[in-house]
C-alpha cells in the first residue's frame, strides 16, 4: 500500500532508478504522474565528484559533501533558500543519520545495518508506526522504493534528504 510523502499539494509515493544497473538517476514518483521529479548525480562521468541534484516541479536543489569526497556529511541547498545538514551518527556507519535545518533535528535510520533496504524515521514515542518509511519493493534490490508517510509534520527538505540517503547508500552496497 502506497501512502507517500506529501510535498505541498502533491504526494511522493515511490522512487525508481531510471536504468536497472546504474544508480546515477532516479525518478521521484508522485501521486499525479505528470508531476514526477528527478534525483540525479550532477556529473556521472566524473569519478571524483559525487554531487547530486533534484527537481520536483519548480522546487530544485543540490546535495554536496561538506568536505571533499567524505560521504559522512552532506549539505542540501534548495532554490527556496533552505539549507540542511545530513551527518552520520558515527563516522563510517551509513545506517543512521542526523538531519537538521538548525531549527529541528531528526534521526533517520536503517532497520537493518547490513542491507539498508528499509529506513524509518520515528518521531512519536509509540512504536505503532514510524513517521516515515522507505522500503525497497524487492528485498536487497535498491532499484525501486515505496514511500510511506504516516502524516508527519515535516518540511519537504527533510523528506527529500531521507530519500537521498536511502537510495544513495543502498545503491552503494548493491554496486
- pLDDT score, position 136: 95
User: CATH for 5-174, among 2.40.160, 3.30.2320, 3.30.70, 2.60.40?
Assistant: 2.40.160
The pLDDT tens digits of the residues spanning 48-95 come to 668 999 998 889 999 999 998 899 999 999 999 999 999 999 999 999
pLDDT tens sequence across 104-143: 999 999 999 888 999 999 765 555 677 889 999 999 899 9
DSSP letter string, the chain: ---BEEETTEEEEEEEEEETTEEEEEEEEESSGGG-EEEEES-TT-TT---EEEEETTEEEEEEESSTT-TTEEEEEETTS-EEEEEEEETTEEEEEEEE-SS-EEEEEESSTTT--EEEE--SS-SSS-SEEEEEEETTEEEEEEEEE-S----HHHHHHHHHHHHHHHHHHH-
Measure the CA–CA gap between 88 and 153, rounded to whole angstroms: 23
**pLDDT (0 to 100) of residue 54:** 96
pTM, to two decimals: 0.88
Say if residues 130 and 120 touch (Cβ distance below 8 Å).
yes
Domain coordinates in residue numbering, the chain: 5-174
| Mean predicted confidence (pLDDT) in 167-174 | 81
Amino acid at each position: 500500500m502506497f501512502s507517500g510523502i506529501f510535498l505541498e499539494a502533491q504526494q511522493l509515493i515511490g522512487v525508481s532508478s531510471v536504468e536497472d544497473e546504474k544508480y546515477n538517476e532516479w525518478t521521484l514518483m508522485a501521486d499525479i504522474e505528470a508531476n514526477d521529479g528527478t534525483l540525479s548525480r550532477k556529473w556521472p562521468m566524473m569519478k571524483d565528484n559525487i554531487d547530486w541534484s533534484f527537481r520536483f516541479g519548480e522546487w530544485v536543489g543540490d546535495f554536496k559533501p561538506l568536505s571533499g569526497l567524505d560521504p559522512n556529511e552532506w549539505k542540501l541547498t534548495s532554490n527556496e533558500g533552505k539549507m540542511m545538514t545530513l551527518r552520520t551518527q558515527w563516522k563510517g556507519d551509513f545506517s543512521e543519520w542526523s538531519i537538521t535545518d538548525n531549527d529541528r533535528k531528526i534521526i533517520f535510520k536503517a532497520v537493518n545495518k547490513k542491507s539498508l533496504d528499509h529506513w524509518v524515521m520515528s518521531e512519536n514515542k509509540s512504536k505503532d508506526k514510524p513517521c516515515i518509511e522507505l522500503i525497497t519493493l524487492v528485498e536487497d534490490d535498491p532499484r525501486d522504493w515505496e514511500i510511506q508517510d504516516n502524516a508527519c509534520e515535516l518540511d519537504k527538505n527533510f523528506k527529500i534528504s531521507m530519500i537521498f540517503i536511502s537510495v544513495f547508500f543502498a545503491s552503494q552496497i548493491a554496486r
